[in-house]
Amino acid sequence: MGDLDACVDFVKGEGRANVAKLGVTGFCWGGRITWLYSAHNPGVKAGVAWYGRVVGAASEMTPKHPVDIAKDLKAPVLGLYDGADTGIPNDTVDKMRDALKAAGTPAATKSTIHTYPDMPHAFHADYRPSFRKDAAEDGWKRAVAWFQANGVG
């Protein structure tokens, strides 16, 4: 979180970015970080998490996971997940949906998760065999619309 805070401070100091319209997005591990940063930084307006893990065992390096911080979200997050992801099972994504619903806070309630059935992990990575053009394009459209609707665009 400190690294991302430093990035935000840097671009704010450079005067080249409008941090009043701060959004965060990430893929895979970055998708996980998107959830966490949306709970960490009150300046974030919206996040888009692309197939990031949402549950896991706590450790020194990963003390909390997205499912643990749903109630702490300060910005709504759109989750874009793959229905055939062997590394992020659907039942864990369902746990995140349940955590968002249980949190009942404005950001958690506004957050939503879209699952692409039969898509493999990393369907948006055009340099990998898992790339799926139609789902990637749809996800990108959803991400842009989400940011625009939530004050980022």
Q: Which of 40, 65, 82, 85 is catalytic?
A: 85
Of 119, 147, 145, 114, give the one whose Cα is nearest residue 133. 119
Active site annotation includes 121:
yes
Q: Which of 68, 72, 121, 138 is catalytic?
A: 121
- CB distance 140 to 108 below 8 Å: no
Active site annotation includes 134:
no
Taking the C-alpha atoms of residue 119 and residue 136, their distance in angstroms, rounded to an integer, is 10
DSSP 15: T
Q: How many CA atoms lie within 13 A of 131 on its CB side?
A: 7
Q: Which of 28, 65, 82, 124 is catalytic?
A: 28
Q: How many CB atoms are located within 10 Å of the residue 51 CB?
A: 30
| Enzyme catalytic residues | 28, 85, 121
